[in-house]
């Protein structure tokens, strides 16, 4: 073979010619493997394509028995080829037969070949097949040969992704790219969404693989890299980035990666092998993604996905924003798929198109999830790898009840879900029919069902759900989705809008509950705490930062001028905190009245019962306030020492249990004795069986997410409360009787036809 025919550049040039010529897909593939074998001086070159059933099928070969094409097959993980596909890493062996994974396939006649080099065919981090060269001689292929074969594999990746090979597959067998995938994540916001994928960060499709001139491409890369570095420096220099904390850490690591010599060297090498600058970024990014998929260390994963983000930014620099499919029309049933996203970014999508959200990150308390929940969109988080697996416009189902995501679902899965959605819609209609009915049990006991809210997007639900008022308005949400501290005017404007939307219905504003898991990235004074849930948060922070507290109180007092104002203090631990807060409120009232501002007609001050210590000071608590609201999310977390945000232990302990119900009963008794109004506003209130338990121990005011009101009302309407109370209270009192309180409720409901869904 002539010297001039060797080398990856020449190979890529030849492949490009083959790709440009019109010919049948099988012939194209055959010519490609022949060209590779010739260029790499290999006796064998074979291409295996991954099918949807997890089998790698031999699609083309030079050197092995041609009759084995479309017959020879290996499962993922089986043999050398299967191991390469499942690990997404190359294998370079001088004596292939000695490798423990080696598996002899008699139909191929490969026994005479000793050395073996195989690389995965990758695209956007997914393995689509395997490309192999083999030689009789015992040789170790050089680093440059591995690199050359990987680059060549990219061309095959494009061929597979473009759908050209579909026609070659056996009838009824799909290639892996169209495989249905089910991913189990974490259910973060209730509901079911059927629709089509919209990638939040549109995938940039590099179609121009081959370069004309390496030097020009290296220059393009250098200039894109320097503007990328400048952008990062710029972001770091901006004043609103807090000096500590996550934002800064991420940007610092971006800066480090953007200067990483190893990365730049790999990019340049790929260009020298004949790729364009953008194709080289995609190649290196693909290798990285494949590696990421096998890394389990969360810290490393995070760092590697920073790299992934950076590569996306670099691709955008190189190709310009226009080439991205950002402007494509949103489907009417959009399901957003993203690694992570900000709350404000979600609000940029038109609500009417949104059917769901799938995140690779995301936790119950992340801002975007809070906003999505307020918008009534189902969310699944922690769906690892979903971005790389999805393509725009793929069919997808988000199950915000189980945490499942079905990508490109099978028809029977789709039919089953469509039925579920219809069923839920029928139920919703039934709940709407109940909207104006009072919440009264069969035996005439009345209840007040309020809703929890925190954002303007929540307000339409006040009427739609039939809530009698807002039992918990989480004022910190406005702070959590903002870029900086909301100004006094913005706070007052929000509170006025809420009161206006509520009309005559009462609204209970909770003073700022920041700290703990409710982090404000721009809050520079926030300390790094070892145990933030037990730290400087909620009322503790308000009392220590009276400026912040006073601004909020003033905004509330002004907004409620001429009507009743209800304020509730979060995370009270000690009665003294209520007295201190009251003194600050009184001073604000005096201040406003001195300056002639209108004032609320009546001020009601309440405390949340979230810290177990207060359970042992109930008499004083009841006398110190106008109302008490049990924050069962936190009270349960602290009583059982169970982090409410940790999915691993989330279902370990049961709030509808003897000890917790006993604690709640003691609160009910103290409230009755002192004539103090009592509400419960944690998530417990929103599920019908839990709500029945709370009703049975005497809680009459429940505040829940708007979606819970219909189901809870339907359950109450069908219940003979006296009978249920007798059954449950007996179970609570009897130390030697049944232990499963929820089952007691469920059995009762079953027996008496009480709907619990």
Residues lying near ligand PEP in the complex (CB under 6 A): 472, 474, 513, 610, 631-634, 681-682
Q: Which is nearer to ligand PEP, 600 or 686 (CB)?
A: 686
In angstroms, give the least distance from the CB of 372 to ligand PEP: 16
Q: Which is nearer to Mg ion, 129 or 570 (CB)?
A: 570
Q: Which is nearer to ligand PEP, 91 or 477 (CB)?
A: 477
Contacted by 572, from ligand PEP, Mg ion, none: CB < 5 to 8 Å by type: none
Q: In this chain, which residue has its C-beta nearest to Mg ion?
A: 634
The Cα-based distances of 381 to 294, 369, 387, 453, 646 in angstroms read 20, 9, 12, 22, 13
Catalytic residue among 196, 597, 681, 752: 681
Q: DSSP for 370-427, please give it.
A: HHHHHHT--EEE--TTHHHH--TT-EEEEETTT-EEEES--HHHHHHHHHHHHHHHHH
In angstroms, give the least distance from the CB of 395 to ligand PEP: 35
**Which residue, chain included where needed, has tokens 């499919």?**
325
In angstroms, give the least distance from the CB of 399 to Mg ion: 27
Q: Is 516 among the residues that bind Mg ion (CB under 5 A)?
A: no
In angstroms, give the least distance from the CB of 629 to ligand PEP: 8
Contacted by 632, from Mg ion, ligand PEP, none: CB < 5 to 8 Å by type: ligand PEP
CA distance 690 to 686: 8
The Cα-based distances of 548 to 190, 242, 529, 539 in angstroms read 34, 18, 20, 11
C-beta separation of 273 from 40 below 8 A: no
CA distance 553 to 556: 5
Quick one: which segment of 94-102, 272-280, 286-294, 610-618 binds Mg ion (CB under 5 A)? 610-618
In angstroms, give the least distance from the CB of 627 to ligand PEP: 14
Q: Which is nearer to ligand PEP, 397 or 480 (CB)?
A: 480
In angstroms, give the least distance from the CB of 740 to ligand PEP: 23
CA distance 648 to 31: 53
Contacted by 150, from ligand PEP, Mg ion, none: CB < 5 to 8 Å by type: none
Contacted by 399, from Mg ion, ligand PEP, none: CB < 5 to 8 Å by type: none
Structure tokens at 165: 């090979």
User: Would you give the DSSP letter of residue 170?
Assistant: P
Residue from 155, 165, 257 nearest 206 by CA: 155
Q: Which is nearer to Mg ion, 454 or 631 (CB)?
A: 631
Q: Is 655 among the residues that bind Mg ion (CB under 5 A)?
A: no
In angstroms, give the least distance from the CB of 632 to Mg ion: 9
CA distance 131 to 152: 9
Contacted by 682, from ligand PEP, Mg ion, none: CB < 5 to 8 Å by type: ligand PEP
Residue 37's CB is within 10 A of a number of other CB atoms, namely: 20
In angstroms, give the least distance from the CB of 527 to ligand PEP: 20
The Cα-based distances of 331 to 12, 198, 369, 387, 566 in angstroms read 38, 8, 21, 18, 43
Catalytic residue among 247, 259, 367, 406: 367
Quick one: which segment of 22-30, 109-117, 602-610, 719-727 binds Mg ion (CB under 5 A)? 602-610
How many residues make contact with Mg ion (CB under 5 A)?
Answer: 3
The Cα-based distances of 385 to 164, 196, 337 in angstroms read 25, 17, 11
Asked about 681 being catalytic, the answer comes back as yes
229 Cβ contact list (under 8 Å, min separation 6): 255, 258, 259
The Cα-based distances of 136 to 63, 81, 128, 321, 502 in angstroms read 11, 18, 27, 49, 82
Q: Is 631 among the residues that bind Mg ion (CB under 5 A)?
A: yes
Radius of gyration of the chain (CA): 31
Contacted by 474, from ligand PEP, Mg ion, none: CB < 5 to 8 Å by type: ligand PEP
Q: Which is nearer to ligand PEP, 62 or 477 (CB)?
A: 477
In angstroms, give the least distance from the CB of 678 to Mg ion: 16
Contacted by 681, from ligand PEP, Mg ion, none: CB < 5 to 8 Å by type: ligand PEP
Q: Which is nearer to ligand PEP, 159 or 472 (CB)?
A: 472
Residue 640's CB is within 10 A of a number of other CB atoms, namely: 18
Q: Which is nearer to ligand PEP, 364 or 721 (CB)?
A: 364
Contacted by 30, from Mg ion, ligand PEP, none: CB < 5 to 8 Å by type: none
Residue from 428, 326, 486 nearest 707 by CA: 428
C-beta separation of 627 from 678 below 8 A: yes
160 three-class SS: helix
Q: Which of residues 82-101 bind Mg ion (CB under 5 A)?
A: none
Could you give the strand order of the β-sheet that contains 192-199, starting from the edge strand earlier in sequence?
181-184, 404-407, 395-399, 192-199, 334-338, 354-359, 379-381, 186-189
In angstroms, give the least distance from the CB of 258 to ligand PEP: 39
Q: Which is nearer to ligand PEP, 275 or 681 (CB)?
A: 681
Q: Which is nearer to ligand PEP, 176 or 458 (CB)?
A: 458
CA distance 740 to 757: 20
Q: Which helix (H) or strand (E) holds 584?
A: helix 575-594
In angstroms, give the least distance from the CB of 343 to ligand PEP: 16
Q: Which is nearer to ligand PEP, 257 or 636 (CB)?
A: 636
Q: DSSP for 299-355, please give it.
A: HHHHHHHHHHHHHHHHHHHHHTGGGSGGGSPPPTTEEEEES---HHHHHTS-GGGEE
In angstroms, give the least distance from the CB of 642 to ligand PEP: 13
CA distance 500 to 498: 5
463 Cβ contact list (under 8 Å, min separation 6): none
In angstroms, give the least distance from the CB of 456 to ligand PEP: 18
Contacted by 217, from ligand PEP, Mg ion, none: CB < 5 to 8 Å by type: none
User: What φ, ψ does residue 350 adopt, rounded to 5°?
Assistant: -65, 125
Considering only 30, 110, 634, 689, the residue that binds Mg ion (CB under 5 A) is 634
Structure tokens at 80: 């050398």
CA distance 713 to 437: 9
Q: Which is nearer to Mg ion, 57 or 513 (CB)?
A: 513
440 Cβ contact list (under 8 Å, min separation 6): 446, 447, 716, 717
Quick one: which segment of 339-347, 416-424, 633-641, 703-711 binds Mg ion (CB under 5 A)? 633-641
The Cα-based distances of 152 to 33, 116, 164, 205 in angstroms read 10, 16, 17, 17
How many helices (DSSP H) and strands (DSSP E) are in the chain? 26, 22
Q: Which is nearer to Mg ion, 145 or 610 (CB)?
A: 610
Give me the residues that bind Mg ion (CB under 5 A), please.
610, 631, 634
Catalytic residues: 367, 681
């Amino acid at each position: 073979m002539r010297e001039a025919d060797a080398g990856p550049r020449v190979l890529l040039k030849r492949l490009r010619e083959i790709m440009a010529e019109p010919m049948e897909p099988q012939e194209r593939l055959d010519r490609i493997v022949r060209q590779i074998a010739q260029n790499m001086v290999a006796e064998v070159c074979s291409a295996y394509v991954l099918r949807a059933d997890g089998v790698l099928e031999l699609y083309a070969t030079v050197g092995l028995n041609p009759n084995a094409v479309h017959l020879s097959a290996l499962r993922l993980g089986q043999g050398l080829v299967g191991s390469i596909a499942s690990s997404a890493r190359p294998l370079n062996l001088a004596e292939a037969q000695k490798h423990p994974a080696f598996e002899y396939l008699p139909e191929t006649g490969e026994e005479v070949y000793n050395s073996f080099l195989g690389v995965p065919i990758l695209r956007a981090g997914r393995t689509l097949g395997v490309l192999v060269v083999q030689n009789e001689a015992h040789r170790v292929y050089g680093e440059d040969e591995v690199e050359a074969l990987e680059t060549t594999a990219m061309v095959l990746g494009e061929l597979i992704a473009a759908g050209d090979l579909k026609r070659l597959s056996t009838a009824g067998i799909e290639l892996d790219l169209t495989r249905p995938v089910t991913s189990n994540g974490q259910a973060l916001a209730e509901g079911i969404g059927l629709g089509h994928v919209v990638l939040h960060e549109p995938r940039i499709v590099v179609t121009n693989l081959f370069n004309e001139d390496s030097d020009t491409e290296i220059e393009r890369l250098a200039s894109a890299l320097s503007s990328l570095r400048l952008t990062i420096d710029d972001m770091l220099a901006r004043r609103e980035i807090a000096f500590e904390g996550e934002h800064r850490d991420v940007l610092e690591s971006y800066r480090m990666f953007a200067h990483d010599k190893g990365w730049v060297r790999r990019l340049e090498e790929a260009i020298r092998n004949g790729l364009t600058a953008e194709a080289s970024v995609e190649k290196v990014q693909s290798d990285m993604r494949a590696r990421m998929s096998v890394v389990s260390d969360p810290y490393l994963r995070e760092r590697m996905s920073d790299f992934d983000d950076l590569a996306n930014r670099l691709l955008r620099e190189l190709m310009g924003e226009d080439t991205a499919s950002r402007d494509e029309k949103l489907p009417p049933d959009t399901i957003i798929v993203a690694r992570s996203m900000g709350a404000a970014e979600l609000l940029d999508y038109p609500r009417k198109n949104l059917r769901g959200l799938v995140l690779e990150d995301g936790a119950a308390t992340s801002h975007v999830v809070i906003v999505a929940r307020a918008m009534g969109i189902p969310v699944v988080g922690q769906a690892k790898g979903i971005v790389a697996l999805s393509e725009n416009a793929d069919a997808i189902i988000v199950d915000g009840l189980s945490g499942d995501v079905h990508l490109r679902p099978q028809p029977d899965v789709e039919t089953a879900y469509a039925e579920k959605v219809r069923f839920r819609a029928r139920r919703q209609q039934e709940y709407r029919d109940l909207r104006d009915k009072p919440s009264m049990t069969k035996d005439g006991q009345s209840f007040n069902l309020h809703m929890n809210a925190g954002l303007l997007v929540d307000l339409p639900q006040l009427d739609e759900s039939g809530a009698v008022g807002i039992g918990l308005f989480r004022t910190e949400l406005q702070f959590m989705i903002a870029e900086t501290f909301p100004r006094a005017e913005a706070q007052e404007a929000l509170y006025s809008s809420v009161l206006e939307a509520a009309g005559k219905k009462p609204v209970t504003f909770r003073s700022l509950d920041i700290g703990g898991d409710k982090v404000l990235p721009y809050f520079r004074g926030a300390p790094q705490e070892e145990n933030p849930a037990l730290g400087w948060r909620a009322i503790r922070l308000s009392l220590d930062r009276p400026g912040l507290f006073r601004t909020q109180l003033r905004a509330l007092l002004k907004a409620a001028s001429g009507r009743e104002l209800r304020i509730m203090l979060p995370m009270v631990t000690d009665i003294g905190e209520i007295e201190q807060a009251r003194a600050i409120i009184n001073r604000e009232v005096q201040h406003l009245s001195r300056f002639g501002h209108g004032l609320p007609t009546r001020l009601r001050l309440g405390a949340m019962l979230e810290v177990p210590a207060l359970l042992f000071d109930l008499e004083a608590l009841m006398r110190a306030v106008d109302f008490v609201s049990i924050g069962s999310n936190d009270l349960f977390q602290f009583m059982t020492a169970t982090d409410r945000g940790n999915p691993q232990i989330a279902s370990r302990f049961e709030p509808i249990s003897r000890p917790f119900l006993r604690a709640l009963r003691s609160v009910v008794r103290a409230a009755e004795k002192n004539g103090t109004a009592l509400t419960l506003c944690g998530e417990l209130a929103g599920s019908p069986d839990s709500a029945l338990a709370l009703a049975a121990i005497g809680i009459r005011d429940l505040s829940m997410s708007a979606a819970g009101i219909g189901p809870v009302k339907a359950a109450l309407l069908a219940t003979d409360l006296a009978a249920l109370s007798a059954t449950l209270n007996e179970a609570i009192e009897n130390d030697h009787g049944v232990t499963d309180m929820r089952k007691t409720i469920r059995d009762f409901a079953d027996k008496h036809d009480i709907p619990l869904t």
